[in-house]
């Protein structure tokens, strides 16, 4: 499966986004996007990526093998996509992925945020993201500061 790194092209088209870090928490997603209601997300998996840690932040790097579990949410507004890019900072870029949902349905041409730097960067360490740890120690600072 090939992965393409691209900049957003106009006009924006709605797309499914795959989240594997703090944005898996729908309350964080709600806060970051200033949504009135808590968004409904679905569980999914993407293949062809490996996870590394950039400090406390997870990032993924395209490779030929590896599965990443996370959540899926449909971004309908360009302003939401641009806010997600801002939240992820310049350390990340978006790339295409295919998401397999829990029921086996395959969503093609979706997007996720990948590491924007070199795959072998010394800034990255082996590791995985612990959502429960994030929620316990870091979530309040994101949700309260938005």
Provide the pLDDT for residue 1.
42
Cβ distance 129 to 68 under 8 Å?
no
CA distance 139 to 114: 21
What is the share, in percent, of the chain residues with pLDDT greater than 70? Answer: 91
For residue 70, give both structure tokens: 């996370």
Cβ distance 40 to 97 under 8 Å?
no
pLDDT tens track for 28-41: 999 999 999 999 99
pLDDT at 53 over 60: yes
pLDDT tens track for 120-144: 999 999 999 999 999 999 999 888 6
CA distance 113 to 116: 9
Provide the pLDDT for residue 3.
47
Provide the pLDDT for residue 11.
74
pLDDT at 10 over 70: no
pTM summary value: 0.90
Beta-sheet pairing, 125-126 with 42-54? antiparallel
CA distance 107 to 115: 22
Beta-sheet pairing, 42-54 with 15-19? unpaired
Q: Is 15-145 a CATH 3.10.490.10 domain?
A: yes
Reported confidence tier of residue 7, pLDDT bands at 50, 70, 90: low
In which element (H, E) is residue 81 found? helix 78-88
């Amino acid at each position: 499966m090939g992965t393409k790194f691209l900049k957003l092209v106009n006009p924006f088209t709605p797309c499914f986004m795959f989240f594997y870090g703090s944005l898996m928490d729908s309350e964080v997603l709600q806060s970051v996007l200033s949504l009135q209601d808590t968004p409904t997300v679905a569980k999914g998996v993407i293949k062809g990526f490996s996870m590394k840690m950039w400090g406390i932040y997870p990032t993924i790097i395209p490779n030929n093998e590896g599965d990443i579990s996370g959540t899926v949410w449909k971004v309908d507004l360009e302003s939401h996509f641009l806010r997600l890019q801002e939240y992820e900072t310049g350390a990340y870029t978006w790339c295409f992925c295919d998401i397999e949902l829990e029921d086996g349905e395959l969503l093609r041409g979706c997007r996720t945020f990948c590491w924007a730097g070199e795959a072998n960067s010394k800034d990255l360490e082996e590791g995985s993201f612990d959502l429960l740890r994030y929620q316990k120690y870091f979530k309040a600072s994101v949700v309260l500061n938005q």
